[in-house]
Amino acid sequence: MSLGTRGYGFRAIGARELPSIAARAGLDAAQARELAAVAAVLPFRTNRYVLDELIDWTRAPDDPIFRLTMPHPRMLADDDRAEISTLLAHDASAADIRHTATRIRKAMNPHPEGQRTLNRPAAEGESFDGLQHKYRNTVLYFPRNGQTCHAYCAYCFRWAQFVGEPELRMAAAGPDVLIRYLDRHPEVSDVLVTGGDPMIMSADVLARHLEPLLDPRLEQITSIRIGTKALAFWPHRFVSDPDAGQLLKLLTRITESGRHLAIMAHVSHSRELETDVVRHAIRRLQATGAMIRCQSPIVRTVNDSADAWIALWRNEVRLGMVPYYMFVERDTGPRDHFAVPLAAATAIFADAYRAVPGLARTVRGPVMSATPGKVVIDGVTTIADRRVFALRLLQARDESLVGAPFFANHSDTARWLDDLTPAFAPRFPYDQP
């Protein structure tokens, strides 16, 4: 069996190696200390593949993959960063640093859009930890062993799960809770396994979570989706990891059970699709019968240009993958640093969409996964002399609103749905009168 471009095993690289990473990017000692201060508050993790094969060091620190994966001083407010820097410079105790880091995190909206409360199913006094059920047909399943990733995105909206604060975690120890829930909810046809990254689990552990879904009695389940960034951050997972073959066999068992297996690949930048090992991994995944669909948020300094999306979608289609969503980054964590205003995201999407062939126009965006549902901005237009965003609900908590078009007044600065005001109507369709 080929070992891909290099046959090295996975090892997570953490904040201890930030000084050497900063030096490699040409940063000085003071700048390196700023990165360390950010990494004391927000999760940081990378690996050798990201460092040696994805980052273009001749362009670092402005390289898009460097920006995607490395801390940046502006991810914290100046006074927060200064406070942590002072503690680090004076060798403060771990407890003092933790205390301050915890306070800063709590002010960074760790659970945006009512994730913890609104979508958590509960019935007859039972709780279903590790599940979210927001849209009729699809249940999200968070296996406890899959709540980390092979590297972290600096903008991660799940960041609260990675920083080791137990009250911020929500995950299922095993599949029993999912099976019990499905028994009561025959309307559910899709299970979306997510994290973190479920592909961080060993093939054995992933099989323990997924095989119960293949029971012929559960014929209501027609699609299993697995959300993952492993193709981008650790393609060796499907090529040379010790259990890669076993993992692919598990995926093949899913498709052979007569179900659709969708790999929902998080791909931020076309460079993530250009190494030999990722191309090998894609072919091996496709050979299981899985369909790979691709999605990513639009992120300032990483992929905030039409050219970046044109290259990304063309590369995806060339490799037999399906462009699916361009998301708007959620209102959480270091968003002030990474946010692209809705108007700019809409223009970038439109410019890129026009430039690609129809096969790439399966993509929808920019999409906000917000409290009332998934809202796409179809474009900017002028109606009766008023400049407006045309919006539509692709998914809605209230099912009768799926597909509903509506309008909002144009704004150059709005960054999220709740920054918008309704146009031609007293309220948005999902707002109570």
Ligand X SMILES: *Cc1c(COP(=O)(O)O)cnc(C)c1O
* Residue with Cβ nearer ligand SF4 (233 or 406): 233
Touching ligand X, residues 167-206 (CB under 6 A) = 192
CA torsion 361-366-371-373 (nearest 10°) is: -20
Mind giving me the DSSP string for 325-373?
A: EEEEPPSSSSHHHH---HHHHHHHHHHHHHHS-GGGTT-EEEEEE-SSE
Residue 67 binds to ligand SF4 (criterion: CB under 6 A) = no
CB 139 within 8 A of CB 92: no
> Which is it for strands 190-193 and 405-409: parallel, antiparallel or unpaired?
unpaired
> What's the CA gap between 412 and 276, in Å, rounded?
41
Residue 331 binds to ligand SF4 (criterion: CB under 6 A) = no
Choosing among ligand X, ligand SF4, none, which partner's interface includes residue 237 (Cβ < 5 to 8 Å by kind)? none
Residue 335 binds to ligand X (criterion: CB under 6 A) = no
* Residue with Cβ nearer ligand X (87 or 153): 153
Residue 134 binds to ligand X (criterion: CB under 6 A) = yes
* Residue with Cβ nearer ligand X (71 or 143): 143
At 303, list the tokens. 């992929």
Residue 149 binds to ligand SF4 (criterion: CB under 6 A) = yes
How many CA atoms does the CB half-sphere of 230 hold within 13 Å? 30
* Residue with Cβ nearer ligand SF4 (190 or 197): 197
Q: Cβ 210 to ligand X, closest distance in Å?
A: 18
CA torsion 10-14-17-22 (nearest 10°) is: 110
CB 230 within 8 A of CB 263: no
At 184, list the tokens. 């009561």
Touching ligand SF4, residues 250-269 (CB under 6 A) = 266
* Residue with Cβ nearer ligand SF4 (72 or 266): 266
> Which is it for strands 190-193 and 223-228: parallel, antiparallel or unpaired?
parallel
Q: Cβ 416 to ligand SF4, closest distance in Å?
A: 17
Choosing among ligand X, ligand SF4, none, which partner's interface includes residue 158 (Cβ < 5 to 8 Å by kind)? ligand SF4
Residue 138 binds to ligand X (criterion: CB under 6 A) = yes
First to last CA, the chain: 63
Q: Cβ 155 to ligand SF4, closest distance in Å?
A: 7
Choosing among ligand SF4, ligand X, none, which partner's interface includes residue 266 (Cβ < 5 to 8 Å by kind)? ligand SF4
Of the residues 395, 396, 410, 417, which one makes contact with ligand X according to CB under 6 A: 395
At 418, list the tokens. 């709740």
Residue 298 binds to ligand SF4 (criterion: CB under 6 A) = no
Binding site for ligand X (CB under 6 A): 132, 134-135, 138, 140, 192, 369, 374, 394-395
